[in-house]
Amino acid sequence: MVETEIRDLIRRELPHLIAEDPGIRDFILRTVSEYYTPRDEFSDRFDRILAELQRDREEQRLKWDEQNRKWDEQRLEDARKWEEQRLKWEEQNRKWDEQRLEDARKWEEQRIERERDREESDRRYNSTIGALGSRWGVCSEASFRNGLQAILTESFGVEVLNLQEKDPEGEVFGRPDQVEIDVIIQNGLVIVCELKASMSKSDMYTFDRKVAFYQKRYQRSVNRKIVISPMVDTRALPVAEQLGIEVYSYADEVRV
């Protein structure tokens, strides 16, 4: 019988022998025990493996949970830091805005102050110039009047009067005031002069009222009305012509 036939015979008969013959079954178990783990031991080993796998899975789950917790904490920490940084940026921007507004306010105050100082300086300058001009005009009028009086009186025997008359009725200025009138008299000829640094249209009318006031006060007719001024408003010239006033200005012309 060849080896192949023996193996086939064993495969065919062995299950019946194991089932019917306890001795053969024990022999077979003892023989294969070196190669196979008994059922109880296998079950115990399998349970241990399952327990180890379960333990490993639990440990791995705990590790993942811990890692997730750390990631959540890190995300929360990052979010907190970003929120803190955002608040800091907002605070910084607020301070910059406040600083810009404060700088703008200060610049505006300084601009207004400079403008006020400039206006005050201009006012003082104009006031000073006006005062100097006024004083210069008064001094010039007085100087010219004194010089004219000296020349006419001493060289030509002409009477030159500078009258300071009260006008209680306000005939000249529309209210009670003192009226200054320069009068030149020679051989019955009466000339009333107005010496001013400048003459306007209203000044012409005022001068004409001075002449009328003098004639009424002294009951004397005025032969000539003369204005002597380096600056005469062109609008005053037609008035002078209408009122019969001679005008001597910078052009050295006479308007009758």
pTM for this entry: 0.46
Please state which of the ranges 77-86, 97-106, 244-253 shows the lowest mean pLDDT. 244-253
In a domain, 80, yes or no: no
Question: What's the rounded mean pLDDT across residues 205-214?
Answer: 94
Q: At 141, phi and psi to the nearest 5? A: -60, -45
Q: How many domains does the chain have?
A: 1
pLDDT at res. 53: 77
The DSSP-derived string for 169-188 is: T-TTTSSSEEEEEEEEEETT
In a domain, 184, yes or no: yes
Domain CATH for 168 = 3.40.1350.10
In a domain, 179, yes or no: yes
Q: DSSP secondary-structure letter at 252?
A: -
pLDDT at res. 233: 92
Is pLDDT at 125 greater than 60 in this prediction? no
168 — pLDDT class (breaks 50, 70, 90) = very high
In a domain, 16, yes or no: no
Model confidence pLDDT, tens digit, residues 44-65: 666 777 788 788 888 888 888 8
Instruction: Determine contact, residues 210/192, Cβ cutoff 8 Å.
Output: yes
AA letter at 227: V
In this structure, the dihedral spanned by the alpha carbons of residues 194, 195, 201 and 206, taken in order and rounded to 10 degrees, is -40
Domain residue limits at 193: 158-255
